[in-house]
Every structure is written in C-alpha cells, then in structure tokens.
A and B are shown apart, each in its own frame.
Chain A
Amino acid sequence: MRHSVILRTAARLLVPLMLLFSVFLLLRGHNETGGGFIGGLVAGISFALYAIAYGTAASRAALRTTPQQLMAVGLGIAVVSALLPLLGGGALLEGLWVQWQGIKLGSPVLFDVGVYLLVIGVTLVVIYELEEHNPRLFPDVSLG
C-alpha cells in the first residue's frame, strides 16, 4: 500500500469531491436524504483516505485544526443552537426559521452543522490516534 501511485492520484481527485459532497449532504439533509451525521462521516472518511494515501501527518496538516477542537466546536455550536430559542422566550431546541428570498435558514440547520463538525472530529481522532499508535500501515512521508 505504501507509495501507491494509483491511490495517491485517485485520492487527490477524490478528496475534494468527497468534501464537497459532504457539505452537499449536510445542507440538503433537511429535505432529501443526508444530514449532519452522514455528511460528517463522508468528510471524516475523505480525510482518512488522504491519510491512507499520504500519511497521517499530511492529513493532519490538511485539516488545519485538531480533531479535538472540531469536536469541541461542534458540540458548542449544537448547544448554542439549542439555547438560542430561549432568548426569544421559546423552549429549548425549538426550531427558529427565517426566510430570505426563498432560502430558509433555521436553528436546526445550525444544530446539524454542529453534529457535522463533531462527527468529523470523533472519526478522525480515533483514526489518527490509532494510526500513530501503530505507524506501520500508512506511508510516513508526506508529499512535502
């Protein structure tokens, strides 16, 4: 698996597409199949694929933040979206919706974004840590 040119080339093409697809899944989730959980898994797997092709260090660098921070920020966003309705005198987690030129935005979407980030974080924290614990599998040289 080390230095597989086919995998590396495929990964370079696939990873951006998968990330784009994950955002697409996240945003359309409310009306079509998809959602934060599924989108988060796709995004997590795309970074895992990058790690398999180029090594965990390269994948971490591409992430630009740590999975732990993603987890924390994700839960934070979900909690904020849960508390937001309380400010207007509503109930916890009540859906707030605004409509602007045919585009509907609501606090459940924000909640889903939180789920999305958290799922990416959890997926990657496990994969990265397991791999670094056992660094025989993924290539250890990044394409610097």
Chain B
Amino acid sequence: MGLLFVVFSGFLLALVAPWLTPHTGRAAGWLYGLLPAAITGVLASFLGRIAAGGTMQQSYTWVPGLDVNLSFYLDGLSLLFALLISGIGTLIFVYAGAYLRGHHHLGRFFSYLSMFMAAMLGLVLADNLITFYIFFELTSFASFVLIGFNHDEAPSRRAAWQALLVTKAGGLALLVGFVLMQQATGTFQISALLESGDLLREHRFYLPIVLLLLAGAFTKSAQFPFYFWLPNAMEAPTPVSAYLHSATMVKAGIYVLARFHPVLAGTDLWMWTVGGIGAATMLLSAWLALQYTDMKAILAYTTIMALGLLTMLLGLGTEVAVEAAMVFVLVHAFYKAALFMAAGAIDHEVHVRDVTKLRGLWQRMPLTGAAAGLAAVSMAGLPPFFGFVGKELVYKAATAFAPAPAVVTGASVLANVALVAAAGLLLLRPFRGSVNEITEAAHRPAPGLWFGPVVLAVGSVGLGLAPWLLDHAVLGPSAGAVLGATVEPHLALWHGLTLELGLSALTVAGGVAAYLSWTALHTSAPFQQLERWLGTGLDHGYDHVVDGLLAMGRWQTRLLQNGVLRRYLSTVLVATIGLVAGAFYHYGFFGGPIAVGEVTAYEWILSLLAVGGAVGTLFFRERISLITSLGVSGFSIALLFLTFGAPDLAKTQFLIETLTVILVVLILTGVSQVEGSLTPTQKVANGAVAVGTGAVVSGLVLAVLKLPFENPMGEYYAQKTYVEGQGRNIVNTILVDFRALDTLGEITVLLAAGFGIYALLRLGTAPDPNAENDPAPEDASPQSEPIESSAPEQTPQQVS
C-alpha cells in the first residue's frame, strides 16, 4: 500500500490541481507541498528496513501473458533517489507557489509538476522493464510540457521540442535494449534480472544491450554529444529547471546506469565507454560554463559537469567510486537546487540573470544571499561543507583507479577548478558590492522563495559536519545495490593530511586564479572557439539533423504520395507481381493443371460474362458503358460465389458492386476525359502490368489448389459456433464474437477513412499535389488532373 501511495498520489494531484488551484489563493505552494512531504515521510519510514538489508516488493498483474506487470521494488538505490525526488519536490512545490504566484495557468503548472514527480517516483521504484520504460517516457513528456510552459514564446517551444526529440530517441533505444535483455534472460522483472549478470555479460546480445541502454542514459542525462538540449531547457520557469533539469529528471539516466550496474558493468567496454564519455562531458562542460554570463546557463553547464562526473564514477565501477557517486548525487542535489532557486529569486525580483550586470544584492536579499553563499561554497568543495566530503571521495576514487589514475585524477581536478571559478561567478558577482540601477528595484523576496534554498543550504552544512549520519542509513544500502554486494562505508570530514587534501588545495588555488582571470579567459579566442564548436555548434548540428529528417520526409512523400491515382495503383500491382513472382522463383512453381469436376452450363455462362465484362472495358469509349461493363463482371463473380455455397460473400459482393457502380459514376463524372492522354509506351506498360497481375494471381490460385486441403479452423468454428457463439451463422459469429476485436479495429479504420474522405472533399480547393513538382510526362496533359483539383468550387451544402 505504501509504495502505491508513493507512486500514484502525485497523479491524483495532477488530476485535481487545475480545479483546486483557483480556490487555494496564495497558499497553493505550501498546500500542495504537503503531498511530497507526506511521500517523503512514508519513504523515510522504510529507511530502517532497507538499512537492515531488506527490500520491498509489490506487484499488480497488468498483462500477465507478456510478463508485463505493474510491479514496484524498493532497495537502497531506489530509496535514495525516491527520497531526493520527494524531498527536493517538497521544497520546489513551495517555491513554485511563490515564484508563479498569480500566474493564470498556475493550476496547470502544478498539475504538470505533480505528474512529473509521480512519473519520476514510478521510474525509480519500477520493478518491471516495461513499467520502467513507461515512467521513463512519462518523465520526458512532463519535461516537454514544463519546458514549453510559456508556449507563446518561440524559444520555449523549440527547447521543448528539442528536449523531447532527444530524450525520446534515447527512450526508444532504451526500449529496444530492454526487449533484448528480456530475450537474453527470459524475464522483464528487474529484481530477477539483477541476479543474471554473468549470463548477460556472456550473452551475444551484450554489446547491443549496453550500447542501447547507454544511448537512453546518455541522452536523458545530457552526456556528450547530446548535452545541447539541457542549456536550452533553461527556457522553462526556474522551479522546473531546479527540479527536473538539475536535481531529478536528468539523473534518470544516471539511475539507469546505476540500476543496471550489477548486471552490465565489469567489462572493458563498459568501463571505457561510460568512464570515457563521462570524463569528456565533465571536463568540457565545466569549462564551457565559464563562457556564459547568464546565471541559469552557468548552472546548466555545471549540471552537465556533475552528470558527467557521476557517469565517469559509475564507469570506473570500483567500490569507492560508486560510494563517491552516491554521495555526489546528494551533494549536487543539495547545492544545485539551492543555487537554482536563488538565481530564480533574483530573476523574479529584478528580471535580470546576467552576472556581469548584477551587484550588491546582498543588501536587498540577505537570506537568499546567505543560502546561495552556503550552497556555492559547497559547490566549490570547501570544508566543512558537504561538497568537500563529496570531492574528497571523488579524488580518492580517481587516484585509486588502477588502469589510468593520472588521467582520471587530472580530468577531475581540472573540471573542479572550473567549478570553483563558476561558484565564484554565481556568488561574488551578483551579491558583493553596492546596488546598481538594476538591483535597486529588488525587494525582499516572499518566504516561499527563500525557504527552499535555506533548508538545502543548512543541509549542506549539516551533512558536511556530520557525514557519518549517512553511512548506515543511505550510503551503504544504495552503494551496495549498485555494486551488488554489501559495503560498509565510513564518511568523514577530516581524513588527515592525504593526497586528496593536497589535490583539494590545488583545486581551490586553481579555481581562485581562474576566477580572477575570468574576464580575460572568457573573451580569449580559443575558449570562444570552443564554445562555438561545442556549445552553439552542437545545437546547430541538431538543427541540421532535424532539417535532414524533414527533407527526407518530403522526398519520400513526393516519391510515394505523388497524388496520381494511376501511379499508386501501378506501384501496388507491380509490387504484388514482384513479390509473388519472386516467391515462385524461390520455391519453384508447384501449381499445375487441376482436375475440374462437371462444369454446369450456368457456370460457363457466368464465367464468360465475368471475363467478357472485363475485356469490354478495353473497348468501350463511353463512360457509362465502361461502368456497366465493369458491373457485369462484378455481378457475375458475385453469382459465382453464390453457386459455390458462399451466400454471405455473395451478398456482400452484390452490395459492394452496387455501391461501386454508384461511386464510380459519381467520381468519373467529376473527372474530365482521359482518352488520348496516354502515349503508346504508357499503354504498353499499363497492359504489361495488367497481364502480369492476372498471370501471378492465376498462378497463385493454381498453386493454392495443389496444396493439401486441411481445415482445422473450419472444424473448430463449426463445432463452437453455436455452443460458444450462440449463433448458427459461422461467418457472423466469427465477425462479431470470435474475432470481434479484428472487426472493432476494422470499423475504427472505416470510421477514420470516412472522416478522411469527408475532410478531403470538404477542403475541396486543396492545392494540386503536382503543382510544385515537375509534372511527369503523362500528367502533362491538362485533362488528367487528380480528382480533387478538377472538381468545381466547394458547393454550399443544402441540408434542410
């Protein structure tokens, strides 16, 4: 029951929030914040059980036939992430209430935000790969609507699309990877999968599984070269940036890496791909952050740096690296959410986020400033803050990484140098000094705007001073779940005079130097070139890919949907000829003369009529004669059905023939004459298609008759049709009972087609599909235009 409440209460709130919000007044944020707070409480009550080595499982059957169940699983790893989501969520809900106070779509915003939280909780608690995938996609969808929340602004819409396309592409890769995992292990259940690591690593699907899962994780967690969407996602309102694009959703990719670490890690492929991409992302984005002056852009790039660092640590895969990753997830969530909320508060007060234009805010917003200060110092990794504990662990993992300690250590130190400088930019530039003309306007923000940052900043100090609180309760179970083993971590603020302490001192010194020379640094040519290539350059690359896809779509539409019915028909028939003839060529033609029983006179007559009607269409010139001739052929065939004991088929054929005649009359009278528009070559080609189709279909019938006639389905229906279907007409009971789902699908298609025809005819003046293309030779004659364009102007409907 507990897990069900944790996952689904958010969806319920999402349903009622739009109606509830107009009645909540100013308290919306505080009121809705009670739900994530309650979820946090429920999750916290499980801490003891999980720390003692237990797990929790809950399962509801969904599609049992496919092994797809709505099942949830709570272990150390999922508990850590779930607590982060609901805990940070509480603060974000409160903050959003103040940040968007009075917004006319506040209810909608809380609905989206709540849906996101529920989806994210479902993701980290899912115990079934398909359930996992669905929640994964739901978070992408929630991210889409939240980034595009200001949908009347073009940049928001573009950023929303970009984030959706990139993360959905990764999501599809993830789905394929999951299916392959199921194929390899025989189960969709994650907790059962975790036992089959050796099987997976030895399996021939191992390489595709790893690459597909990494594609999902790297796009979601904004790794190189996919990270371009994350800075653009900053178009979202700041509560969204703080919650989705820093503290939680982008860590879904990290969660994928951590969740499947026990079964996929431990190979060179994993170590070098995950570690390498992570390290490259970390190093690049840390220095790219210094190229921007917008506070949210700096925060976005340092978020990518953190994600790169986490990816790298999970790639290294040693015990201390995994512990460092779990600690850093917490460290980063605490300081980054606080800094985002502080930046948002500044934006809310003065509507400027450029660090070069802001000064002296300390005088106007002391509480926000204090919280931002504590968070920035934690980000810079100075003692006694939680960030320092995290960084020491990272350095410990880097120096202890046996295959390449120098490379990993060097990359980590360099990235952290840039991080220290970025922390300086975010804290010292806006808050120091005296107010200028921009910051004069700032007021003391509402409590909701500083509540979250202050709580997180205090947390950063508290956990820095007493990190051992986490050892047994959170860190041990979560790192243990990632490693698939029991671990006993011991966090401490002071480790003595170690190599890591020396590296920390070096980092701080380098960071201070980088901060002091920042003006020269971010205007220097090589760094600007770096930004042009890897910042805006990748973004433009995305545009090129999208443009290419659209061009391909246009090309194939022109090729396949050229609007000329004759060509559609030829395509279908030539494809049929090719496929059937190919099959005969492959298997050999096994048809042959068949023994025909006594043919009665009326069967002869009907057959001759059917053939004669078809042949007649070649010679008649008048339309009405053509149609009549076709009708003779069709009705004769219907009568033949009747003589062979298929009354239902015959009846349907009669009715369809009748309708066809009516429709053909209606259509052909609207089209101008086509005679004379065909060249002799085209006539030969059309003749060849017609004769070829007739030949392969006849061959097919002859071949089918040579096969032994077994009819188990016929027997089955003959026996069951009255007993189970309550009817004596086999055809009808099949249609409406045994295979009713097929019928339901067919009539749905029929409905869609009906409305499609209605829309096409009502549009009437649709543009000529050939207008912008080079007209093909056979269309050169103005008489053979497609139906729509040759029809008269739209007629006013006369309904009485």
List chain A positions with a Cβ less than 8 A from chain B: 29-38, 41-42, 44-45, 48, 52, 56-57, 60-61, 66-68, 71-72, 74-75, 78-79, 82, 92-93, 95, 97, 104, 106, 108-109, 111-112, 114-115, 118-119, 121-123, 125-127, 129-137, 142
B199 to chain A, nearest CB (A): 36
The reply to whether A134 and B670 contact each other, CB–CB distance below 8 Å, is yes
Bound together, the chains give a CA A72 to CA B758 distance in angstroms of 14
B499 interfacial contact with A, CB 8 Å:
no
Are A133 and B795 neighbours in the complex by a CB distance under 8 Å?
yes
In whole angstroms, what is the CA distance A74 to B755 when docked?
14
User: Is B799's CB within 8 Å of the partner chain A?
Assistant: yes
Please name all residues of chain B whose beta carbon is closer than 8 Å to the beta carbon of A135 when the two chains form the complex: 795
A79 to B648 alpha-carbon distance, docked (Å): 24
Assembly CA distance A79 to B740 (angstroms): 11
Contact between B747 and A115, CB atoms less than 8 A apart: yes
Contacting pair A122 B651 (CB below 8 A) = no
- Say yes or no: B728 contacts A38, CB within 8 Å: no
Q: Is the interface of B mostly helix, strand, loop or mixed?
A: helix
Are A129 and B800 in contact, CB atoms less than 8 angstroms apart? Answer: no
CA distance A29 to B651 in the complex (A): 12
Closest to A82 in B: B744
Q: Which residues of A contact B731 (CB under 8 A)?
A: 33, 35
Residue with the highest number of chain B CB atoms closer than 10 Å, among A33, A123, A133: A133
Contacts of B541 in A (CB 8 A): none
* B633-689, CB < 8 A from A: 647-648, 651-652, 655-656, 658-659, 662-663, 665-667, 669-670
What B residues does A136 contact at CB under 8 A?
Answer: 669
Chain B residues lying within 8 Å of A79, measured Cβ to Cβ, are: 744
Contact A36 B795 (CB under 8 A): no
CB B219 to nearest CB in A, in angstroms, measures 36
Which residue in B669, B728, B732 is a CB contact (below 8 Å) of A35? Answer: B732
Nearest opposing residue in chain B for A30, CB measure: B727
Alpha-carbon distance A31/B5, docked complex (angstroms): 51
In the complex, what residues of B have CB within 8 A of residue A57's CB? 798-800
Alpha-carbon gap, A50 to B390, bound state (A):
83
Give the residues in chain B near A38, CB-CB below 8 Å.
Answer: 648, 651-652, 655
User: A108 with B761: in contact, given A68-B755, A134-B670 (CB under 8 Å)?
Assistant: no
Which residues of the partner chain B approach A45 to less than 8 Å between Cβ atoms? 655, 658-659, 662
Main secondary structure of the interface of A (DSSP, over half): helix
Residues of A within 8 A of B761 (CB): 129-130, 133
CB neighbors of A among B744-800 (8 A):
744, 747-748, 750-751, 753-755, 757-758, 761-762, 764, 791-792, 794-795, 797-800
**Do the beta carbons of B800 and A121 come within 8 Å of each other?**
no
| B665 close to A137 (CB less than 8 A) | yes
Asked if B441 CB lies within 8 Å of chain A CBs, one says no
Known: A78-B744, A125-B754, A137-B666. 17 other contacts (CB 8 A): A32-B728, A33-B731, A42-B655, A48-B659, A61-B799, A66-B799, A75-B751, A92-B741, A93-B744, A108-B733, A108-B736, A108-B737, A109-B736, A114-B747, A118-B750, A123-B659, A130-B670
User: For the complex, is B735 an interface residue (Cβ under 8 Å from A)?
Assistant: yes
Which of B652, B740, B791, B799 contacts A37 (CB under 8 A)? Answer: B652
Decide yes or no whether B726 CB sits under 8 A from chain A: yes
Question: Judging by beta carbons under 8 Å apart, are A118 and B751 in contact?
Answer: yes
Residues of chain B within 8 A (CB-CB) of A74 are 747, 751
Bound-state Cα–Cα, A101 to B177, Å? 58
- Please tell me if the beta carbons of B736 and A35 are within 8 angstroms of each other in the complex: yes
Alpha-carbon distance between A85 and B109 when the two chains are bound, in angstroms: 38
B729: CB under 8 A from chain A? yes
| Structural contact, B662 and A127, CB atoms closer than 8 A | yes
Does the CB pair A71–B740 fall under 8 Å?
Answer: no
**Contact present for B735 and A35 (CB under 8 Å):** yes
Is B24 engaged at the interface, CB distance under 8 Å to the other chain?
no
Given contact pairs A30-B732, A74-B747, A41 touches B757 in the complex (Cβ within 8 A) = no
Cβ-closest chain B residue relative to A61 = B800
Once bound together, how far apart are the Cα atoms of A52 and B665, in whole Å? 11
A125 to B755 Cα, complex, angstroms: 8
B795→A72 contact, CB < 8 A: no
Say yes or no: A41 contacts B655, CB within 8 Å: yes
Q: B743 in the interface, Cβ–Cβ < 8 Å?
A: yes
CB-based contact A133/B792 at 8 Å: yes
Among A44, A71, A142, find the residue whose CB has the most chain B CB atoms closer than 10 A: A71
User: Are A31 and B729 touching (Cβ within 8 A)?
Assistant: yes
Are A112 and B736 in touch, CB under 8 angstroms? yes
Enumerate chain A residues within 8 angstroms of B651, measured Cβ to Cβ. Answer: 33-34, 38
Q: B725 in the interface, Cβ–Cβ < 8 Å? A: yes
Task: From A33, A109, A114, give the contact of B648 (CB < 8 A).
Answer: A33
Please determine whether B736 and A115 come into contact, CB atoms closer than 8 angstroms.
yes
List B residues 706-750 near A (Cβ within 8 Å): 724-729, 731-733, 735-737, 740-741, 743-744, 747-748, 750
In Å, the complex CA distance between A45 and B663 comes to: 11
Most B C-beta atoms less than 10 A away, residue of A71, A74, A104, A129: A129
Asked if A133 contacts B670 (CB within 8 A), the reply is: yes
A contact residues around B741 at 8 Å (CB): 82, 92-93
Q: Cβ of A41 and Cβ of B652 under 8 Å apart?
A: yes
B652 nearest CB neighbor, chain A only:
A38
9 A/B residue pairs, CB under 8 Å, sorted by A? A30-B736, A33-B647, A34-B648, A44-B659, A75-B751, A111-B743, A122-B753, A129-B762, A130-B761
A136 to B527, CA, bound (A): 73
What residue of chain B has the Cβ atom nearest to residue A142's Cβ?
B800
Whether A111 pairs with B655 at a CB distance below 8 angstroms is: no
Contact partner of A126 among B670, B724, B740, B757, CB < 8 A? B757
